Amino acid sequence: MKPALVLALLVFPLFAIAQEDWTYINRDEKVNRFQVNSKGKFHVDGQEVTGFSLQQTGDKIAISPSSPGGKYAVLFAFGDQDSQCALLQYEKRAASPMNMEGTPMVWNSWSPEGPYLLLATYSDAGSSLYSISLSTFQPKKVVVSLHKEGEKTEIDTTTATWTAPDTFQMEATVHCNPAKPECTSQLEAKPLRIYKLTINAESLQVNTEEQDLQPEE
């Protein structure tokens, strides 16, 4: 996973700030029930969490809002050579690493009634979406194949909506790929196509419906 430098809405940095209500803790700091000591060890309510700590180069941890029922949270570490992502189990005071391709976005979505978690990553080739069952803690990549050669797909995490315990909808846009010389930053910002996605979090089946592009003002 590669570090990145700037914030954006759809092309995300090292840990893009895409969602409010996350808690951020610096090394050697305590915030509410969370604490990171000078050695990078992470504590909840005064108890050390196993399976997750800041590496020597890390300087900050982000904690997501808790899952429905309060059993889980997502953990990200900032400043590490390799971006860390883990699922915190509050009752066990333990964290399970979650390995994904690309750089994680500071965004997540819990299914309100079902045991699923959505996470997303980004890379130069576009963004990717992952579904995690809370019974296995294993990220499964949702394959969204919308772009053609010379294009990239961007997933709009702000549009994620659960329509059933195991089903959600969101939008995705296709843009030109900046790896192509003719794809300027101005052209990259303009969507070529936009899709509504309906996805099953368990089977990973993706149904797509192309939407009308809004005319430019």
Which domain CATH number covers 43?
Answer: 2.40.128
For residue 10, being part of any structural domain is answered with no
Residue 208 predicted with pLDDT over 50: yes
Query: Average model confidence (pLDDT) for the chain?
Result: 87
Strand partners, 132: 117, 139
Q: Across residues 113-120, what is the average pLDDT? A: 92
Average pLDDT over residues 100-125: 89
pLDDT band at 82 (very low <50, low <70, confident <90, very high): low
Is 41 a domain residue?
yes
For residue 80, the model assigns a pLDDT of: 63
Strand partners, 152: 175
Under a CB-based contact definition with an 8 Å cutoff, are residues 13 and 6 in contact?
yes
Host H or E run for residue 54 = none
Task: Quote the pLDDT of residue 49.
Answer: 98
Q: Report d(CA 191, CA 188) in Å as an integer.
A: 7
Looking at the domain assignment, is residue 17 inside a domain? no
CA proximity to 206, closest of 160, 168, 153, 173? 168
- Give the span between the Cα atoms of 104 and 187, in whole angstroms: 25
Answer for the pair 198, 175: CB distance below 8 angstroms, yes or no: no
Please, which pLDDT band fits residue 127 given cuts at 50, 70 and 90? confident
Tell me what pLDDT residue 81 has: 62
d(Cα 183, Cα 165) in Å, to the nearest integer? 40
Cβ(132)–Cβ(86) under 8 Å?
no
* CA dist., res. 157 & res. 197, Å (int): 11
Q: Within a domain: residue 207?
A: yes
Looking at the structure of the chain, the number of domains it has is 1
Confidence label for 103 from pLDDT (cuts 50, 70 and 90)? confident
Residue 14 lies in a domain: no
pTM above 0.75, yes or no: yes
In a domain, 206, yes or no: yes
| pLDDT for residue 12 is more than 90 | no
Domain range for 142: 23-211
Would you say residue 1 lies in a domain? Answer: no
What pLDDT, in 10s, does the model give residues 131-190? 999 999 999 999 998 999 999 999 999 999 999 999 999 999 999 998 889 999 999 999
Looking at the domain assignment, is residue 205 inside a domain? yes
**What band does 209 get if pLDDT is binned at 50, 70 and 90?**
very high
Mean pLDDT of 8-29: 61
